[in-house]
């Protein structure tokens, strides 16, 4: 039973497509080498994968450039060569010309070299400058208005904080007055305590105390009996 034919079309599965590419590329390179050796043929093979990877084969001892040059001579085709130096020179000249034009236009706006400008261009320049000045003034007024709005907002915030603090003081005024009265009463109580102990007479080297108040109970001292036994000894 023979093998079935595989339809030649693009493989949709990316992994399967990559595996098939690797296998068939190796087989193609092998067959190309065999053909070059067996038949003494000059072969140049260039392969680009779907991801842009380059794979090539060239018959030794030739180089790929020699094979391509021979192909161009035989077919009469030639790849156009870009003269990068001429292109860079043209771009540089264009940039210099544009820079010169911009410098001249900037000198007009700064009021320099006005002698060669005709009256019509001077009128246009004046209108452009007036338009620019108006834009600058509008932007300046906008910034000033923003600063004024910020200051007014800060003023309202400070007024609200001041009102809150004033209401707090009014609500706690009674407590503050009570604490202040308590602090003033403490020296009076201290003076009353000192008045309970009165000093009398002229100051001397011996401190004399006032009579003991009546609330203190009096105690009588009694002498202990002598120990006769100790005296007889």
Over residues 79-133, the pLDDT tens digits come to 666 556 778 888 888 999 889 888 877 777 777 767 777 788 778 888 888 898 8
**Exposure on the CB side of residue 119, measured as CA atoms within 13 A:** 0
pTM comes to 0.34
DSSP 59: -
pLDDT tens for 145-198 read: 999 999 999 999 999 999 999 888 888 887 777 777 766 655 555 555 555 545
Q: Which residue in this structure is represented by tokens 């109970």?
A: 217
Query: What CA–CA distance (Å, rounded) separates 43 from 29?
Result: 11
Query: What CA–CA distance (Å, rounded) separates 98 from 224?
Result: 132
């Amino acid at each position: 039973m023979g093998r079935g034919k595989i339809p030649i079309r693009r493989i949709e599965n990316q992994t399967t497509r990559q595996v098939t590419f690797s296998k068939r590329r190796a087989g193609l390179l092998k067959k190309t080498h065999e053909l070059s050796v067996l038949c003494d043929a000059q072969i140049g093979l260039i392969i680009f994968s779907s991801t842009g990877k380059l794979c090539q084969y060239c018959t030794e001892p030739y180089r790929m450039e020699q094979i391509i040059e021979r192909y161009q001579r035989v077919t009469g085709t030639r790849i156009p060569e870009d003269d990068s130096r001429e292109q860079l020179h043209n771009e540089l000249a264009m940039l210099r010309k544009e820079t010169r034009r911009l410098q001249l236009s900037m000198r007009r706006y700064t009021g320099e070299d006005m002698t060669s400008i005709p009256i019509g261009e001077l009128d246009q320049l004046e209108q452009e400058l007036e338009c620019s000045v108006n834009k600058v003034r509008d932007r300046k007024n906008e910034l000033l208005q923003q600063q004024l709005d910020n200051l007014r907002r800060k003023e309202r915030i400070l007024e609200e904080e001041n009102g809150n603090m004033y209401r707090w003081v009014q609500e706690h005024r009674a407590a503050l007055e009570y604490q202040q009265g308590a602090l003033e009463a403490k020296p009076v109580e201290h003076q009353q305590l000192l008045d309970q102990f009165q000093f009398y007479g002229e100051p001397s080297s011996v401190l004399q105390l006032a009579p003991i108040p009546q609330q203190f109970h009096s105690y009588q001292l009694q002498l202990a009996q002598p120990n006769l036994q100790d005296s007889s000894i």
